[in-house]
Amino acid sequence: MPLNILITAGPTREPLDPVRFLSNRSTGRMGFALAQAAAEAGHAVTLIAGPVALPTPPGVRRVDVLTARDMLAAVQAHLPQADALIASAAVADWRPEACSPTKLKKAQMAGVIRLVPNPDILKTIHPQKGSRTFVGFAAETGEPDAEAARKLREKGLDLIVANDVTAPGAGFAHDTNRVTLLYPDGRREPLPLLPKLDLARRLIALLPTLR
């Protein structure tokens, strides 16, 4: 049965001034592969994309955002129509406390930038989950499973996709990825190194089984 799938992808940018920002290394490739795979499977797809240099997959509705708060607002706006949310975006945990409307000159800049926490999108929207399927991603270094399991529990997810972004061929800016799927019942399913589109097709095929 076709689903209405909401997907987040890419990084967020948290501005310090009109020139500088805090961000991360996410390119959005995994999220865009998920959107492509979902559209190929006949689902209705809304893709909320941070600032990335990728074309919109055919048949996908795209919403561009910049900051974590922008992404949260977009998710809240589109969640009521969604049957499933796949949160693959690498959302910045912190943002500068203040953003200057003009470029900060070197002489004006302090040696310390004060940061404030961004909202946790999945935690914020969890009260609206209802019967929807929520899938998250945990991009970690070293041994990602313990941190991924914590996020799975605390965010009330139906599945989390964990990977070590320092592993060869995995993580940001690669066309491949190696992940482990963690389920709420404690199951752990390691997958081999796969092209991101192949991995995306596997994950989209799993969605109906998680409902």
Q: DSSP assignment of 97-137, as one string?
A: S---SSPPPGGG--S---EEEPP-HHHHHGGG-TT-EEEEE
Q: Which residues contact 88 (CB under 8 A, 6 or more apart)?
A: 7, 8, 9, 30, 31, 34, 137, 161
Distances (CA, A) of 101 to 17, 19, 20: 6, 10, 11
In this predicted structure, what is the pLDDT of residue 26?
93
In this predicted structure, what is the pLDDT of residue 86?
98
Which of 5-14, 25-34, 161-170 is least confident?
161-170
Tell me if 67 sits within 8 A of 14, measured CB to CB: yes
Q: Which residues are catalytic?
A: 24
Adjacent-strand bridge partners of 7: 47, 86
Give the integer Cα–Cα distance in Å for 192 and 165: 14
The 10s digit of each residue's pLDDT in 173-202 is: 888 999 999 999 999 999 999 999 999 999
Residue 118 in this model has a pLDDT that exceeds 90 = yes
Give the integer Cα–Cα distance in Å for 177 and 205: 17
Closest C-alpha to 64, from 20, 101, 28: 28
For the chain, the farthest-separated pair of C-alpha atoms sits apart, in whole angstroms, at 60
In this predicted structure, what is the pLDDT of residue 127?
95
pTM for the predicted model, two decimal places: 0.95
Adjacent-strand bridge partners of 202: none
Phi, then psi, of 136 in degrees rounded to 5: -120, 170
Residue 211 in this model has a pLDDT that exceeds 80 = no
The domain 4-210: what is its CATH number? Answer: 3.40.50.10300
What tokens does 159 get? 């599945």
One-letter amino acid for residue 147 of the chain: E
